[in-house]
Structure 1
Amino acid sequence: MKFVDVAGVNDILPGKTRHVETKGIEIVLANVAGKIYAVSERCGHMNAPLSKGTLYENIITCPLHHATFDVRTGKMITGMVEHPLPDLDKAPKETQDEYRAIGMLAKGIRIHDLQSFPVKIQGDRVLVTIQ
């Protein structure tokens, strides 16, 4: 297994994430209580950037549809969460129908687990393996 240097340990504070890219692969690094994990940067639902989401303990939440994943394993925990748009009922009927149709399409998209990447800390550097 060949490890690639992607970031400094101090670049990812506890409870925070960082987007990196190596060999054309986007990765989100997550610091969970001082331990660094690496998973696919793109949500397994609709490709949103997970580094723009939130990290709480070991759970990363997608900023787009709020699906959650365990950064230790890449496994999906919860799927898409619907959030009604405020005042949608006041919008023109065509707009309401369009948003409902988009919501139905988004619900039908299967959510995939994230790819997890092995991490090694060497000195003050974070290294990952791309397989």
Structure 2
Amino acid sequence: MGFVKVAKADEIVPGAMKHVEIGETEICIVNVEGVFYAIGDRCGHENARMSRGSLMGTIVTCPMHASQFDVTTGKLMSGPVLELDGIAEKFSGCPENVRKSVGEMFAGIVEEQRLIKTYDLPVYNVKHEGSNILVDISAGR
């Protein structure tokens, strides 16, 4: 397929991210201090949209479970945060059997979440030509 225009550079200010789709491929375009990167826009843990997360330097944090990835390599930097501290207090007005059942349910969810492997994100070659950002989705690595 080669390089495809995906955005105008001024649409993605430094420190920002943008979701784009090329066919079936969802990509997160990232501007790190004027340098553009492109990674897969679905978290390698549970498929959340990375472009809705946060960016600090070259690290993007998933909005769902806070997995962190380096946008320069797509590599997982830290796994998902699966803490549910404080959830029991939300059910403090419920009968004991409800609190117990809810506690067991959330403990089971956390345990299952821990078993889900988190994969690195694909990265794509990017060109910044004039005012255009181009991405080569055929070279996802």
Query: 2 CA distance for matches of 1:82 and 1:109?
Result: 11
Please, what TM-score do these two structures have when normalized by structure 2?
0.88
Q: Which moved more, 1:94-103 or 1:109-118?
A: 94-103
Q: Which moved more, 1:58-67 or 1:74-83?
A: 74-83
Match of 1:13 in 2: 13
Match of 2:25 in 1: 25
Which is greater in Rg? 2
Match of 2:4 in 1: 4
- The structure with the greater share of residues assigned to helix is 2
Structure 1 contact 89–96 (Cα < 8 Å) conserved: no
Aligned residue identity for 2:124? F
Query: 1 CA distance for matches of 2:2 and 2:90?
Result: 56
Match of 1:125 in 2: 132
Q: Which moved more, 1:91-100 or 1:39-48?
A: 91-100
Structure 2 unmatched runs, 5+: 92-98
Query: 2 CA distance for matches of 1:87 and 1:80?
Result: 18
Please, what TM-score do these two structures have when normalized by structure 1?
0.95
Q: May I ask how many residue pairs the two structures share in their alignment? A: 131
Match of 2:109 in 1: 102
Query: 1 CA distance for matches of 2:4 and 2:137?
Result: 8
Q: Which moved more, 1:78-87 or 1:3-12?
A: 78-87
Aligned-pair RMSD on alpha carbons? 1.3
Query: 1 CA distance for matches of 2:131 and 2:79?
Result: 35
Query: 1 CA distance for matches of 2:6 and 2:128?
Result: 11
1:23 positional shift? 1.6
Structure 2 contact 59–69 (Cα < 8 Å) conserved: yes
Aligned residue identity for 1:112? Y
Superposition pairs for residues 34-73 of structure 1, below 5 Å? Answer: 34-73=34-73
Distance 1:87 1:109, change over 3 A: closer
Structure 1 unmatched runs, 5+: none
Query: 2 CA distance for matches of 1:87 and 1:67?
Result: 20
